[in-house]
Amino acid sequence: MEQRTHERIAPHLCGRPVELGAGRARVVLETTREMAADAQGLVHGGFTFGLADYAAMLAVNEPTVVLASAQVKFLGPVVAGDRVEAEAAVERSEGRRRWIRVVVRRDGTPVLEGELLAAVLDRHILSAT
């Protein structure tokens, strides 16, 4: 399946798609020292969330999809150098809204899980009205 959204995402920041299908996506992120929030190498949660968000947008895979809201739980730490993988699946569609379930894992163990709500707009969110 062809990627139709978020084509310019930097893979070193948000991950690299490894699987893309109807209503689902899998994205891998190799974390780096630059993502660490402290001297012990704890990766800032924003990078883990960014990976989850990117996977969710790819699961919807519409050019004008945007994130509307998210409810996530951080279940464990990510350390610089870890490889993390997000799996996202659209669980429900209603009109323009899509509810996506996302799980991010490190070595098979969940470190983030949640439900993201996306909206598919008629045109790009930055387009003039």
**pLDDT at residue 128 greater than cutoff 90:** no
Burial code (b: 16+ CB inside 10 Å, e: under 16) for 31-56 equals: beeebbeeeebebeeebbbbbbbbbb
Residue tagged 């699946």 (tokens): 89
Burial class (CB in 10 A: 0-12, 13-18, 19+), 112: buried
Please give the pLDDT value at position 107: 97
Q: Is residue 24 part of a domain?
A: yes
**Parallel, antiparallel, or unpaired for β 83-94 and 97-106?**
antiparallel
Q: Is residue 4 part of a domain?
A: no
The stretch 65-74 carries a mean pLDDT of 98
Q: Is residue 126 part of a domain?
A: no
Domain harbouring 92, CATH code: 3.10.129.10
Which domain does 116 fall in, by range? 11-120
Give the pLDDT confidence of 19-45 residue by residue, as tens digits: 999 999 999 999 999 999 999 999 999
Please give the pLDDT value at position 78: 98
Please give the pLDDT value at position 129: 61
Please give the pLDDT value at position 119: 98
Is 0.75 surpassed by the pTM of this model?
yes
Tallying the residues shown for the chain, one arrives at: 129
